[in-house]
């Protein structure tokens, strides 16, 4: 029994080796069939984080990462991450530029390949910022300046729109991504309403030449500032001596710069002039200036005696009762002057008219007659007045007529205020003067007794020579002198 196997034919050692090899080969084939045929593998890339990411401009992109996953149908159903798998990321995200970016993840393992994509959007949802400031100039609010800055676009001031509406200004802007911004500016002390001007007496006023124009009054009111009457500016002058239409403009501005204007139209109207009727007969108009005086009553008696009517251009000498007698005895009364002071009355048209109207009032007060007859002191041809006010007689001669007065000069001068100092000379001067004219206005002064004494002689001569004596009326010829100023 030394050799247990020696004579018995059995499976030899190499045969066992061969069987073992066959079994291993079979097992390997079975494994390959199971793993690669029955259990199918697949490779995928699994992204960490969102597949689509949105980043606000300014945020930085932080890669969330990804992994390669190998899955089988029989086992590793949930997938495994092979250690030798490769993952490559292509593409990039530019954080400083708005847009859509794609990142591609490519995984490979065991000869398999897989891809995944991630989309990253850089967006701008941030609105621009509008800043306003008010420039104050000289303590008053001025222009509103503005700037608009956007986180992405930068300075977009040029895109700002400005819309004004009552009481406020709206500033708006939209950035390149469509993000809007609005700012409203409230106008301080907003006052859109201008003041109002009320003209007392209305917007039209008619005065006659020679009546001084006096501002009838006005009132200005503003809803915010209240009474602005004292701030009203008046423009336009009314020439009360010359007929015409004179606009007077009233303006006022409230503290918010709103203006108001009102216009008053002042018409300076000329009174119609009476028709001049020349007498048919040879006519003598006796006129007496500068009275009444101590001799006037005597004169009235003489005139009565011959039934002659005359005209008295009176001054204010305290003989009011005789003025009344002049009128009562049927004579005409006219205005000469209050003071007979050339310097004073011819200082200006205003001064003259003041004197004229005052004397008209004196006569009215004494007689009840509102006379429109007048004689200029010195006559309209006087040259004294120009030393006080050059050219004044041209102005006055027109103005008094437009004011409804009639002025009378003379064509026969008795010279009783000059060289004729006795009744004989006065009468001689008058008769000579009348003889040369068909109709005469005779100048005498009843304050001189010698002149009064000449009247009877003059009347007698006139009546003997076929003259009639009349008092002046507004229709009588004026015998206007040539003005010499
Ligand atoms: Zn006089």
Q: Which residue has the tokens 């050692």?
A: 13
219-223 CB contacts, 8 Å cutoff, 24+ apart: 220/195, 220/196, 220/250, 220/252, 220/260, 221/195, 221/196, 222/193, 222/194, 222/195, 222/196, 222/252, 222/254, 222/255, 222/258, 223/191, 223/193, 223/195
d(CA 345, ligand 1 centre) in Å: 12
Q: Which fold has domain 41-123?
A: Immunoglobulin-like (2.60.40)
d(CA 312, ligand 1 centre) in Å: 11
Mean pLDDT along residues 293-313: 98
d(CA 374, ligand 1 centre) in Å: 11
d(CA 342, ligand 1 centre) in Å: 10
d(CA 278, ligand 1 centre) in Å: 25
Q: Transcribe 388-415 into DSSP letters.
A: HSTTHHHHHHHHHHHTT-EE---SEE--
Tell me the two tokens of residue 309. Answer: 């009517």
> Do residues 116 and 47 lie in contact, with contact meaning Cβ atoms separated by under 8 Å?
yes
pLDDT score for 41? 83
Better-predicted residue by pLDDT, 218 or 5: 218
d(CA 337, ligand 1 centre) in Å: 8
Q: Which residue has the tokens 């079979």?
A: 26
On the question of pLDDT at 63 being above 60, the answer is yes
C-alpha dihedral sign at 375, 377, 383, 388? negative
Rounded Cα distance between 221 and 227, Å, is: 5
pLDDT-based confidence at residue 1 (cuts at 50, 70, 90): very low
**Which has the closest alpha carbon to 252: 274, 271, 226?**
226
Which residues, other chains included, contact 301 with Cβ-Cβ below 8 Å and sequence gap of 6+? none
Residue 189, by phi and psi: left (phi above 0), alpha (psi -120 to 50) or beta?
Answer: left
Mean pLDDT along residues 76-88: 89
Fold identical between 41-123 and 196-269? yes
d(CA 277, ligand 1 centre) in Å: 26
Angle at 176 between CA 172 and CA 182, to 5 degrees: 15
Helix then strand then coil, in percent of the chain rounded to 5, is 25, 35, 40
d(CA 78, ligand 1 centre) in Å: 141
How far is Cα of residue 154 from the mean position of the Cα atoms in its chain? 42
Kindly list the strands in the beta sheet with 204-208, ordered across the sheet, starting from the edge strand earlier in the chain: 204-208, 259-269, 244-253, 233-235
Angle at 267 between CA 261 and CA 273, to 5 degrees: 175
The predicted-structure confidence for 329-344, as pLDDT tens digits, reads as follows 999 999 999 999 999 9
Write the CATH number of the domain with boundaries 283-469.
3.20.20.370
d(CA 362, ligand 1 centre) in Å: 17
pLDDT-based confidence at residue 436 (cuts at 50, 70, 90): confident
d(CA 379, ligand 1 centre) in Å: 8
Tell me the two tokens of residue 482. Answer: 């040539």
The predicted-structure confidence for 3-32, as pLDDT tens digits, reads as follows 555 556 677 888 999 999 999 999 999 988
Residue 267, by phi and psi: left (phi above 0), alpha (psi -120 to 50) or beta?
Answer: beta
The predicted-structure confidence for 130-166, as pLDDT tens digits, reads as follows 999 887 666 556 678 899 999 999 999 999 999 988 8
The predicted-structure confidence for 351-400, as pLDDT tens digits, reads as follows 999 999 999 999 999 999 999 999 999 999 999 999 989 999 999 999 99
d(CA 336, ligand 1 centre) in Å: 7
Rounded Cα distance between 87 and 44, Å, is: 11
Mean pLDDT along residues 177-186: 93
d(CA 417, ligand 1 centre) in Å: 9
d(CA 213, ligand 1 centre) in Å: 29
d(CA 403, ligand 1 centre) in Å: 22
pLDDT score for 138? 64
Strands 283-289 and 440-445: what pairing?
parallel
CATH superfamily of 196-269: Immunoglobulins (2.60.40.10)
What is the percent of the chain with per-residue pLDDT over 70, rounded to a whole number?
97
d(CA 116, ligand 1 centre) in Å: 128
Mean pLDDT along residues 293-316: 97
Mean pLDDT along residues 408-434: 97
Could you tell me the residue ranges of all domains in the chain?
41-123, 129-186, 196-269, 283-469
d(CA 375, ligand 1 centre) in Å: 8
C-alpha dihedral sign at 447, 451, 454, 459? negative
Better-predicted residue by pLDDT, 262 or 78: 262
3-class secondary-structure state, position 278: coil
Residues forming a β-bridge with 374 = 335, 407
Strands 259-269 and 283-289: what pairing?
unpaired
The predicted-structure confidence for 243-281, as pLDDT tens digits, reads as follows 999 999 999 999 888 999 999 999 999 999 999 999 999
On the question of pLDDT at 73 being above 70, the answer is yes
The predicted-structure confidence for 52-61, as pLDDT tens digits, reads as follows 999 999 899 9
């Amino acid at each position: 029994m030394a050799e247990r196997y020696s004579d018995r034919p059995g499976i030899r050692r190499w045969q066992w080796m061969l069987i073992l090899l066959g079994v291993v080969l079979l097992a390997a084939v079975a494994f390959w069939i199971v793993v690669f045929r029955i259990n199918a593998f697949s490779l995928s890339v699994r992204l960490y984080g969102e597949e689509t990411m949105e980043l606000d401009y300014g945020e930085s992109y932080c890669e969330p990462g990804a992994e390669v996953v190998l899955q089988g149908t029989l086992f590793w159903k949930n997938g495994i991450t092979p250690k030798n798998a490769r993952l490559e990321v292509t593409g990039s995200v530019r954080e400083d530029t708005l847009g859509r970016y794609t990142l591609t993840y490519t995984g490979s393992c065991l000869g398999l390949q897989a891809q995944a994509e991630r989309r990253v959007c850089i967006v701008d949802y941030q609105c621009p910022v509008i800043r306003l400031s008010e420039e104050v100039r000289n303590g008053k609010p001025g222009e509103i300046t503005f700037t608009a800055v956007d986180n992405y676009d930068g300075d977009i001031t040029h895109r700002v729109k400005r819309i004004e509406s009552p009481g406020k200004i709206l500033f708006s802007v939209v950035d390149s991504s469509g993000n809007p911004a609005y700012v409203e500016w409230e106008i301080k002390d907003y006052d859109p309403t201008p003041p109002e001007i009320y003209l007392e007496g209305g917007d039209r006023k008619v005065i006659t030449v020679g009546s001084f124009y006096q501002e009838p009054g006005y009132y200005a009111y503003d809803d915010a500032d209240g009474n602005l009457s004292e701030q009203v500016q008046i423009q336009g002058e009314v020439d009360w001596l010359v007929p015409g239409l004179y606009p007077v403009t009233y303006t006022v501005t409230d503290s918010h710069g709103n203006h108001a204007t009102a216009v008053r139209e002042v018409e300076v109207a000329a009174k119609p002039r009476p028709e001049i009727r020349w007498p048919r007969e040879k006519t003598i108009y006796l006129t007496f200036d500068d009275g009444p005086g101590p001799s006037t009553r005597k004169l009235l008696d003489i005139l009565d005696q011959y039934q002659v009517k005359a005209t008295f251009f009176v001054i204010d000498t305290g003989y009011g009762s005789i003025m009344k007698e002049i009128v009562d005895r049927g004579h005409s009364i006219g205005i000469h002057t209050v003071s007979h002071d050339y310097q004073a009355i011819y200082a200006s048209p205003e001064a003259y008219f003041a004197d004229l109207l005052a004397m008209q009032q004196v006569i009215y007060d004494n007689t009840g007659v509102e006379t429109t007859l007048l004689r200029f002191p010195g006559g309209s041809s006087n040259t004294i007045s120009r030393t006080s006010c050059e050219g004044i007689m041209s102005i006055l001669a027109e103005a008094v007529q437009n004011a409804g007065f009639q002025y009378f000069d003379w064509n026969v001068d008795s010279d009783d205020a000059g060289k004729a100092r006795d009744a004989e000379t006065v009468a001689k001067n008058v008769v000579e003067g009348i003889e040369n004219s068909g109709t005469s206005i005779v100048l005498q002064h009843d304050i001189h007794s010698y002149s009064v004494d000449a009247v009877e002689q003059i009347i007698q001569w006139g009546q003997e020579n076929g003259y009639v004596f009349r008092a002046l009326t507004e229709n009588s010829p004026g015998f206007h002198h040539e003005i010499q100023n």
